Structure 1
Amino acid sequence: MRRWPLLLLPALAACSSSPTRYWTIEPLAGLPAPAAPRGTAPVQIAAVHVPLAIDRLEVVRHDEADRIVVLDFDRWSAPPGSLLRTALTQDLVARMPAGSVVFPDAPAPAGLRRITVDVLDLRRIGDRFVMQASWSLAGPAARPHALRLDAPAGEGDVAAQTAALATMTGALADSIAAALARGQGGVTPG
Structure 2
Amino acid sequence: MSIPTGKFQEYVLSAHEGFNEPAMREAFAQAVPLKTVVIYCLDPRVTEIPQAVAAYLGDETYPGEVIINESGSRVGSTTTLTAVAVAAGRAVDAIRSVSVLEHLFGVRNIVVVHHSNCGGTSYSAEGMIESFHHEHGTDISHAYDAGSVCITDFEASLTYDTKLLRSSPGVPKEATILGLFYNTDTGELTEVVRNEGVS
Q: Could you tell me the TM-score, scaled by structure 2's length?
A: 0.25
> Which one has a larger percent helix, Structure 1 or Structure 2?
2
> Which one has a larger percent strand, Structure 1 or Structure 2?
1
Larger radius of gyration: 1
Q: Could you tell me the TM-score, scaled by structure 1's length?
A: 0.26
